[in-house]
Amino acid sequence: MLPMLRRLLHDFALPQTLMTRNDGERVLTNLLHLSELLQQAAAELDGEQALIRHLGDHLALSGQAGEEQILRLESDEQLVKVVTIHKSKGLQYPLVFLPFICSSKPVDGSRLPLQFHDADGKSQISLQPTEALIQQADDERLAEDLRLLYVALTRSEHACWLGVADLKRGNANTSMLHRSALGYLLGGGAVLAESAELNVWLHDLAQGCEAIALQPVPEPTDERFSAPRNEAALVKLLVPKRRAAENWWIASYSALRIGDTVTAGADESPDSPQAQKLFDDERLDPEAPRDILTSGGDIHRFPRGPNPGTFLHGLLEWAGNEGFVMTAHAPEKLQDAVARRCNRRGWAGWINTLSDWLQHMLNMPLRLSPDAAPVALGELDQPNQYRVEMEFWFASNNVNVAQMDTLVRRFTHDNAPRAATETVSLNGMFKGFIDLTFEHEGRYYVADYKSNWLGSDESAYTQLAMETAILDNRYDLQYVLYLLALHRQLKTRMADYDYDQHMGGALYLFLRGSRSASQGAYFTRPPRELIESLDLLFQGKPIAHDLPGALA
């Protein structure tokens, strides 16, 4: 932030332009102060958008700024802190000035309800206060002002200046000084008959006390105060001897390099769930049909590739956003939604096939872990039980991807062989979109929809075939990172969170195999040691060397 703003000031000659204005020094100081505050915030935030949101939030709360954000003077050489008496409690200052200590704000009887205390000290209110109650409330206000006066007078270390004058309200001739805390002490509660009598009160107070000095207020002039400037010589500019390396970036599963391939295009990081689907699903088979067959058929004949796969994802996303329970029990509405989406693409021949497929997907009981009862998507109640396309971000501090991959391989799928990731470093933020996150019987799960074509009929979707597809595409890395994101979220939100008790696992739904014996559902739950080790790894902390996969 600071280099950017200083370049802006230099390129547009803003200091020279601003200093021609009467308030130019004030505006320039505000700009520099703002840039310093944003520079401090940038060290704790990730990315320009986060910094913009931070600035917007503070602009919306401009009246509640903290001490570090109070208006800065043009020069700090003669720094003056302006604080309220309330905020000065417990603090000491070398010199204290109380220019308005004789002011007071009497109780307004028209502002209801009127608050006061009875003879037993209990708080009371009145909606029809009498003059006596108003006077009682104002006496209580005066008592509080006297207490604050004591606080104010005892803040200084060396000297304290009090501005004393006779105060009258509006065009009234009657003095109101006696209703202020200081005026009450000077006159013992008596009304000041004439302004000249105030000098008598002050001399009576100062008589015999060397610590009190009376000074008349100086006559006003046209002279303008200018703070002295520091004329210290500028130090020699320090030039760094090496060039700083910038390796901060936003990564996702889709940007990981696996073997000699990249799961996404170049180093892109998808910025939407739809973009992620194009990256995450199976790579397009060169021999797969590229045109949608208009004649229809079963789900296995539905064309393969990123775009048809995204279409299937979109149907489930629509059902989730509308409400799984509602769409599962409204077949006419479901078919209407499928028809509208198909007709927009000229796929009318697939309406019945895809409607039957979606209806079956929503109502089939999904088998999870052995100790959990099956659950259908159509039994999940929005919004208490699930989130569709939950986006997550978490920091990655110089994560060695090869070390992460070694951990994942050792702890999952019995260390089965699979393509290795390239040795790169994740430093910055890690982001992603989880197709479905849901809770069932007190445990939390992530689900991911896969449109991968494993064969021409239901018999192709065995547990072994689905596991092979997961390993071939390295979806094991994907679900482990999704579970890590969920693990961190639950740790933050649940005071009694325990991985073994609350984490359900990952469910991969191979959409074309929903009518097979396996339901096209592959469930897994990696051990606690893996998720906790990855949590430490992404924080930049060392992991236990005795863990399988730990690197020395």
The gap from C-alpha 298 to its chain's centroid, in whole angstroms, comes to 46
> CA of 115: how far to CAs of 125, 147, 514, in Å?
4, 19, 70
DSSP state of 175: B
* Pairs from 265-270 (Cβ < 8 Å, separation ≥ 24): 269/431, 270/433
CA distance 160 to 156: 6
Q: Point out the catalytic residue in the list 145, 280, 435, 448.
A: 448
Cβ–Cβ < 8 Å for 187, 178: yes
- In DSSP terms, 375 is beta-bridged to 366
CA distance 103 to 155: 19
Which one, of 385, 470, 497, lies nearest residue 436 by Cα? 385
Q: At what angle do helices 331-345 and 306-322 cross, to 10 degrees?
A: 150
List Cβ neighbours of 162 (8 Å cut-off, separation of 6 or more).
Answer: 98, 101, 182
CA distance 377 to 360: 10
Neighbouring CB atoms inside 10 A of 88's CB total 17
Task: Please report the sign of the dihedral spanned by the C-alpha atoms of residue 550, residue 419, residue 451, residue 458.
Answer: negative
List Cβ neighbours of 186 (8 Å cut-off, separation of 6 or more).
Answer: 177, 198, 201, 202, 205
Six-digit token string for 462: 């065995």
DSSP per-residue string spanning 417-457: --PPBP--EEEEEEEEEEEEEEEETTEEEEEEEE-----SS
> CA of 339: how far to CAs of 40, 323, 346, 462, in Å?
53, 18, 10, 31
In this structure, are strands 249-251 and 425-440 parallel, antiparallel, or unpaired? parallel
* Residue 71: strand, helix, or coil: coil
Which residue is it, tokens 């505000």? Answer: 30
DSSP state of 265: S
Which one, of 422, 446, 443, lies nearest residue 435 by Cα? 446
- In DSSP terms, 93 is beta-bridged to 156
- In DSSP terms, 57 is beta-bridged to none
CA distance 27 to 464: 69
In this structure, are strands 257-258 and 261-262 parallel, antiparallel, or unpaired? antiparallel
Tell me if the bond preceding 113 is cis, omega within 30° of 0.
Answer: yes
* Residue 59: strand, helix, or coil: helix
Task: Answer yes or no: 138 catalytic.
Answer: no
* Residue 388: strand, helix, or coil: strand
CA distance 474 to 480: 10
Mind telling me the catalytic residues? 448
